[in-house]
Structure 1
């Protein structure tokens, strides 16, 4: 005689919940972004603060910001080389990218911290080149981040293909930080690093 097997036990229910959650994460970038945000809050996805050695290695790539242009939502063109004398934080992102969405609150926090510092500029560059969609996203989320789109060829050392990609330029226009993937830019050490660069 075959015994009745109880399928509705805690082990099977919890397994089903986990599979459903993983399925939702694979389908929904928003849910995946929320999960990554949660992991950022417990200390994961922290940006590595560049050492002097790292900065020198990045600068020795012969990278040039000459002729790199971005356009804001008013149609005004920003020439990256004209921002020498300022620390420039550039984030390449897209609305459909979960790690981009996850790190956005920390970048908004960064913007608030340096809002009154004329030596720090934050450029949020929509890699999809779809300003209407990205501006709508910023308004919906109440972020105080101006959206830019590429207005020229972007060198690979600034942006290759990975989203998000974040680059930090010092006042000389040299790349001193480059990170592919999501990160928590509300990190105090990272913000202190920008503060230090802005005072050099």
Structure 2
């Protein structure tokens, strides 16, 4: 009994650390908590890199419909690269779902949630299981490194003229008031 009292707290702490390290949903839960206290707000600044042409950058949905970014001039384009196995991606999904709900009926903004693994069946099931209604796509062409270099999650936004207006690698709270105002500003331009 003395050993349990002496080492019980250490064992509990060690077990908690192992759960956070090896259970993606536990790690996502921890990150989501840090997001809620404001630790992961996206910095809204003009990216240094630019993309000259969006033509030919394509995404495909589960029904086989293909979207070419070059055909979306006149619309704000929000692209989020993610994967079902990625804890930071899982952590930011609730904020992305809230952002999407605010703008889903706005025909001036196109949302593309691109499963970086390209497994549309798995990613669609993941979204459905969590009651997220966001449109899931897979990358259907080469994507320039200025847009996506492989880090997950990565979010990019293009203005109505097709210019790269925002790029962020890593988890962020996209339902933040400043970020919503940023999207509204891009819509108004």
TM-score, normalising length: structure 1: 0.90
Query: What pairs up with 1:59-98 in 2 under 5 angstroms?
Result: 59=50, 62-98=51-87
Residue equivalent to 2:19: 24
| Structure 1 unaligned residues grouped into runs of 5+ | none
Residue equivalent to 1:167: 156
* 1:9 aligned to which of 5, 17, 30: 5
In the aligned structure 1, how far is the partner of 2:170 from the partner of 2:105? 28
Kindly name which structure, 1 or 2, has the bigger radius of gyration based on alpha carbons: 1
Per the TM alignment, residue 6 of structure 1 is displaced from its structure 2 partner at its CA by: 3.8
In the aligned structure 2, how far is the partner of 1:145 from the partner of 1:118? 15
* 2:43 aligned to which of 32, 41, 48: 48
1:58 pairs with 2:49: yes
RMSD over aligned Cα, in angstroms?
Answer: 1.5
* Paired residue secondary structure (1:48): coil
Per the TM alignment, residue 63 of structure 1 is displaced from its structure 2 partner at its CA by: 4.1
In the aligned structure 2, how far is the partner of 1:132 from the partner of 1:20? 33
Q: Deviations over 1:55-97 (max 9, x none)?
A: 4x333xx543221011012101100011111111100000000
Number of equivalent positions: 189
Per the TM alignment, residue 154 of structure 1 is displaced from its structure 2 partner at its CA by: 1.1
Q: Deviations over 1:86-124 (max 9, x none)?
A: 111100000000000000011111111112211111100
TM-score, normalising length: structure 2: 0.95
Misfit runs of 4+, over 4 Å: none
